[in-house]
A and B are shown apart, each in its own frame.
Chain A
Amino acid sequence: MGDRVKGKIAIVTGAAKGLGRAISECLAREGAVVVLTDIDRKEGEAAAAAIRERGGQAEFRELDVTRENAWRTLVDDVMASHGRLDILVNNAGIALLKSINDLSLEEFQHINRVNAWGTFLGCKYGVAAMRKSGGTGSIINMSSVLGQVGGADATAYSASKGAVRLMSKALALEIGIAREFIRVNTVHPGLIRTPMTEGMFGTEVWDHEGDPLYAPILLGRAGSPEDVAEAVLHLASDEAEFMTGAELNVDGGWTAI
């Protein structure tokens, strides 16, 4: 076990699978006490149990990030049982690729409700808890390369991830004016193979080097959830103590060109 976030209390949303699960595993590997949250109780419990089996400290709590009451309860519970909150990873997110002609307002709202509003609520209650923990902490919000550059058929997703990106900078500045040391940064994954992207692109494309899916990516391949988790770990740890309002791309060079 490492010690880069030893003893820190962390909440990770969307932690049952994909990026959230890898992030939870990575933080636990480096000594954090991880509260995994998700709407999927069964998979979430299993993810937490798998971490405990490897000697990590983890527990699961059900959370629908779009419900304010659920956030209030979660944060109250975590403060009651652990006494503080040091790390919050607003990772829960959904994606939809659809032409604007076919995209309904309901679909647009649904994507934004989970990705942007969910992150807003997490920040709101996370910051409040961190203020009660001595005014320090690290919030990592999961944006995307599509929060920085456009992508065809991604109007709803890009809107939500662009919102996450700039909401994070605004919050970083606001906290600075309050002379507090809660850091807020964003991570921008490119194409990462997860259950979410397998749902979008199928399970076949991943082994085909040269697939058109990889055309925008300099390294010519998809990344792994562990690659994103390592970036989150860096931002969560005290090694990134001078980073706030910043963006960390884990995109194989997608946005460099």
Chain B
Amino acid sequence: MSKRLANKVTIVTGATSGIGRATAVRCAEEGAIVIATGRNEEQGRKTESLITEAGSKGLFLRHDVTSEESWNAVISETIDRFGRLDVLVNNAGTFMVKPIGETTESDWDFMWKTNVDGTFLGTKLAMQAMRRNPEGGSIVNMSSLMGLVGFENATAYCAAKGAVTHFTRAAAADGAASRPHVRVNVIHPGVIWTEMLVHEFGEVEDIKNYMIEDTPLKRLGTPVDIANGVVYLASDAARYVTGASLVIDGGRGAD
């Protein structure tokens, strides 16, 4: 069997840990050439070596997804080194829980800049690059279950991820209007116990146990659970899938 992402040039943002790193590795296992991006050089180099261990090639690039200049540099270098761009995974994200009364304007900005501005810039610039690719391309955005339903103490995060959800649908229309087509889809992870959550909640067993009990499949998600969804959407097997929402949440959002 040929690999599912054989030679697809793939940028994964926020690939220095968690879902982004697992996505970079899974894509590499499926034959993709992976450009792993992020702010943490040391962790980025580790992802780079995991890509090589997975049997593919790729590299780490320093990247601030909130800066258009930084995006231009990442995409130019990708095209210089590998000739084209096939897949972009807008994974980089920030998370916060806070009651609305304590949420400041700078908190709001912090949620909005990486999650929404970053996704907008990536989609816009990747779409331009993919238009020069005879085979078009596939963009996968990372929303959240919280981008579909509300949660207490998460107005800023829910608003930002809701924006990513709906942005994706509109971007799918723009991607379909371009020739060749660019597909744009969005993934909604449930509770995936990564550094992003630990940073906010701490390694608190009570919180973990509550989340597990609240999930029909009675476990927390893993980064690989999400990475597997990315592989499907990025691959040609999903060539008729665009503007779609893939919920990977252990059933938490089914009620």
Please determine whether B225 and A218 come into contact, CB atoms closer than 8 angstroms: no
* CB contact list, A71-105 vs B, under 8 A: none
Contact digits for B228-249, partner A, Cβ 8 Å, 1 yes 0 no: 1101100001111111111111
Please determine whether A223 and B240 come into contact, CB atoms closer than 8 angstroms: yes
**List of A residues within 8 angstroms of B222 by Cβ:** 242
**List of A residues within 8 angstroms of B105 by Cβ:** none
**List of B residues within 8 angstroms of A242 by Cβ:** 190, 217, 219, 221-222, 225, 248-250
Contact digits for A236-255, partner B, Cβ 8 Å, 1 yes 0 no: 00011111111111111101
Cα–Cα distance between A146 and B172 once the two chains are bound (Å): 20
Given A242-B250, A245-B253, the answer on whether A250 and B240 have CB atoms closer than 8 Å is: yes
What residue of chain A has the Cβ atom nearest to residue B214's Cβ?
A176
Count, A-B residue pairs, CB within 8 A? 130
Chain A CB count within 10 A is highest, among B168, B218, B238, B254, for B254
Chain B CB count within 10 A is highest, among A219, A220, A224, A255, for A219
Decide yes or no whether A227 CB sits under 8 A from chain B.
yes
- B179 CB to closest chain A CB, in angstroms? 11
Decide yes or no whether A149 CB sits under 8 A from chain B.
no
Cα–Cα distance between A190 and B240 once the two chains are bound (Å): 9
What are 8 of the A-B contact pairs (CB < 8 Å)?
A169-B254, A176-B218, A181-B217, A224-B240, A244-B250, A244-B251, A245-B253, A257-B172
Decide yes or no whether A152 CB sits under 8 A from chain B.
no
What count of chain B residues pass the 8 Å CB interface test?
Answer: 38
**List of B residues within 8 angstroms of A249 by Cβ:** 241, 243-245
Cα–Cα distance between A253 and B184 once the two chains are bound (Å): 9
The main secondary structure of chain B at its interface with chain A is: loop
- A44 CB to closest chain B CB, in angstroms? 25
Chain A CB count within 10 A is highest, among B215, B219, B244, B249, for B244
**List of B residues within 8 angstroms of A169 by Cβ:** 254-255
Please determine whether B216 and A172 come into contact, CB atoms closer than 8 angstroms: yes
Given A239-B228, A242-B248, A257-B173, the answer on whether A252 and B242 have CB atoms closer than 8 Å is: yes
Decide yes or no whether B169 CB sits under 8 A from chain A.
yes
Q: Which of A181, A223, A245, A253 contacts B254 (CB 8 A)?
A: A245
Residues of B bordering A, CB below 8 Å: 1, 168-169, 172-173, 176, 181, 190, 215-219, 221-222, 225, 228-229, 231-232, 237-251, 253-255
What residue of chain B has the Cβ atom nearest to residue A168's Cβ?
B254
What residue of chain A has the Cβ atom nearest to residue B226's Cβ?
A242
Cα–Cα distance between A223 and B231 once the two chains are bound (Å): 20
**List of B residues within 8 angstroms of A256 by Cβ:** 168-169, 172-173, 242-244
Please determine whether A175 and B216 come into contact, CB atoms closer than 8 angstroms: yes
Q: Which 10 A-B pairs have the closest CB atoms?
A: A256-B243, A176-B216, A245-B254, A218-B176, A230-B237, A242-B225, A223-B240, A239-B228, A227-B240, A244-B251
What residue of chain B has the Cβ atom nearest to residue A166's Cβ?
B254
Please determine whether A246 and B247 come into contact, CB atoms closer than 8 angstroms: yes
Cα–Cα distance between A241 and B215 once the two chains are bound (Å): 13
Given A234-B237, A239-B232, A256-B169, the answer on whether A172 and B251 have CB atoms closer than 8 Å is: yes
Please determine whether B248 and A2 come into contact, CB atoms closer than 8 angstroms: no
What residue of chain B has the Cβ atom nearest to residue A178's Cβ?
B216
Please determine whether B246 and A176 come into contact, CB atoms closer than 8 angstroms: no
11 A-B pairs besides A231-B238, A243-B248 with CB distance below 8 A are A173-B254, A176-B215, A219-B181, A224-B240, A246-B246, A246-B254, A250-B244, A252-B242, A255-B244, A256-B242, A256-B243
Please determine whether A218 and B240 come into contact, CB atoms closer than 8 angstroms: no
Please determine whether A176 and B243 come into contact, CB atoms closer than 8 angstroms: no
What residue of chain B has the Cβ atom nearest to residue A2's Cβ?
B1
Cα–Cα distance between A219 and B238 once the two chains are bound (Å): 13
Contact digits for A149-181, partner B, Cβ 8 Å, 1 yes 0 no: 000000000000000000001001101110101
Cα–Cα distance between A173 and B216 once the two chains are bound (Å): 6
**List of A residues within 8 angstroms of B245 by Cβ:** 247, 249
Cα–Cα distance between A230 and B190 once the two chains are bound (Å): 23
